[in-house]
Amino acid sequence: MNKGVAITGMGIISAIGNTIEENFISLVNNKMAITTIENISTVHSNAIKVGEIKKSNDQLAGELQLSPDNNFSRTAMLGAIAAKQAIRNAGISSINEYKTGLISATSVGGMDMTEKKHNEFFENEAALKYIDSYDSGDVAHKIANELGLEGMVTTVSTACSSAANAIMLGARMIKSGKLDRVIVGGTDALTKFTINGFKTLMILSDGYNMPFDNDRKGLNLGEAAAYLVLESDEVVRKENKKVLARVSGYGNANDAFHQTASSENGDGAFLAMQKAFQVADLKPEQIDYINVHGTATPNNDLSEGRAIVRIFGDDKAPDFSSTKPFTGHTLAAAAAIEAVYSVLAIQNNVVFPNLNFKTPMEEFNLVPQTTLKHKNIEHVLSNSFGFGGNCSTLIFSKSE
C-alpha cells in the first residue's frame, strides 16, 4: 500500500457534540441528535426533524469573540470554531511557519444570513455588510483570518461531496510538494433554502432517517463543520508530530446520469471507489469498515449499495454503517465530519452503529452494522456523493 498523507489534527462541531471527544462519546453511546428545528422559523417545523447545533448565532459569535459589527454567517462561525480546534489539536502555534493552505468546502456558503436579510437589503443600510457573503469564498477567507493564515485559500463546492473533494485536493497538494501543511474540511449551516429545496425534491423524512432500511423514507438535514490538518512527512519528522491516521486513497468520478439522481447501478460511486483503491494501492478485502454516504433516500442507498456489491462482491462487503442517523445529512460538511469519524474508528478500533435499521433492502444482501463493534481497524473507506453526479471516495489508514 501507499503510505498516504499524515493527518495531525482534527476539529469538529456537530449536532452530537462541540468537540472531538463529545462526538466520540455520542457515537459510542447511540446518542443521536435529530430533533425539532429551533434556530430557524420555518412552516415545516412540525413536518421535519434536523440535526441542529443547539447554539444561537450570538453564542457562536461570543465563543469566537467577534465584534458586534461582524458580518460572519453561521456557516463561517461553525467553520472557524472547527478549524481553530483542528489547529490546536495539531499543536500549531505559528501558522505561517510552513507553506500552509486552507481548502474549505461549503454548499450554500452565507445563505443563512442572505435569506434572513434578503428583504432588508434595500431598506436597511446595516444589512448590506452581508452582501459580501454572496461570494462563497467569504467563509474560507473568514476562517483563514481567524487562523491568521496567509497563503493559498480556496473553496470547493460540489454539493454533498464538497468536503471529500477538499480533503482530496489537500492530500494531492501535500504529495506534490506545493504545500507543507493544509487545513481541509467543510462547513454548512442549516438554512431555509436547503430545507425547502430538499422538501420540494420530496426526499426529507418526517421521522428519523433509516439508512439502508427497506422502508427508508428520506433524509434529515443537519449542520456541522469539521477540519483536518494534513502535513508533509518532512514537517511531521521535523516537529516530531503525532500522526492520527493517514489519507491513503481518494477518487472522484461523475455519474453523468442526472442532475440530482444517482444511476441505478451506481457507476459514479463504483468508479470513485475503484480510483481510491488504485491511489491507496489497497484491495477491497483490506477495508475493515465503510462509512457509507447512506443518506437514507430511496435513490442514494440503492445506488450506493449496488456500487458496493460491484466493488466488494456478493456477501463480501465489510462492516458498514451510516452515521447520518446521529448527525443528519450535513451537506458540504458531511465528508469532513465523516472523515473525523473514520479517524476515530481507526484510533479506537470500533465500527460505529447504523441506527434506526430494521429491515434489509430487498434488492441486495447488505445489512449494516447496527451495534457498536470492537475490532482492529486498519483501513476505513468513506463515500460521499452530491448533486451533479459528483461521487467521491476517501480511504483512511492507520499510521505505522
Partner 1 sequence: MSKTYINGLGCISAQKTFDTVFLEEAELNENDNVLTLKVPVYKDFIAPMAIRRMAKGVKNGIVAAALAMKEANITNVDAIITGTGLGCIEDSDKFLKAILDNKEEFLTPTAFIQSTHNTVGAQIALGLGCKGYNFTYVNGAVSFESSLLDAKMQIDDNEASSILIGGIDEMNDYTASLFKRAGFIKKDNEVPYQVLNATTKGAVYGEGATFFVLESEKNESTYAEVLDVEIWNKMDVDQLEAKMNSFLKSNGLEIADIDAVVFGYNGDVEYDCYYDNLATTAFINVPQVYYKHLSGEYYTASAFGLWLGAKIIKTQQIPAIVEVNAVEKSAYKNILLYNQYKGIDHSFTLISK
Binding site for partner 1 (CB under 8 A): 42-44, 102, 106-107, 109, 111, 114-115, 118-119, 121-122, 128, 131-132, 134-138, 140-141, 144, 149-159, 165, 169, 172-173, 176, 178, 192-193, 196-197, 199-201, 252-260, 267-268, 271, 386-390
User: Cell 475493515 belongs to which residue?
Assistant: 288
Nearest distance in Å: CB 83, partner 1: 14
**How far is residue 196's CA from residue 184's CA, in Å, rounded to a whole number?**
29
Which C-beta is closer to partner 1: that of 289 or that of 387? Answer: 387
Nearest distance in Å: CB 298, partner 1: 16
Contact 246, 355 (CB under 8 A): no
Cβ partners under 8 Å of residue 37, min gap 6: 44, 45, 48, 49, 50, 52, 190, 195
**How far is residue 106's CA from residue 163's CA, in Å, rounded to a whole number?**
8
**How far is residue 208's CA from residue 203's CA, in Å, rounded to a whole number?**
12
Nearest distance in Å: CB 38, partner 1: 17
Cell of 262: 444517482
Contact 333, 108 (CB under 8 A): no
Which C-beta is closer to partner 1: that of 106 or that of 323? Answer: 106
Nearest distance in Å: CB 195, partner 1: 8
Which C-beta is closer to partner 1: that of 24 or that of 198? Answer: 198
Cβ partners under 8 Å of residue 150, min gap 6: 96, 144
Pseudo-torsion of CA 272, 278, 284, 287, nearest 10°? -90
Nearest distance in Å: CB 50, partner 1: 15
Nearest distance in Å: CB 166, partner 1: 10
Which C-beta is closer to partner 1: that of 298 or that of 388? Answer: 388
Which C-beta is closer to partner 1: that of 9 or that of 386? Answer: 386
**How far is residue 289's CA from residue 252's CA, in Å, rounded to a whole number?**
20
Which C-beta is closer to partner 1: that of 161 or that of 323? Answer: 161
Contact 171, 163 (CB under 8 A): no
Which C-beta is closer to partner 1: that of 152 or that of 361? Answer: 152
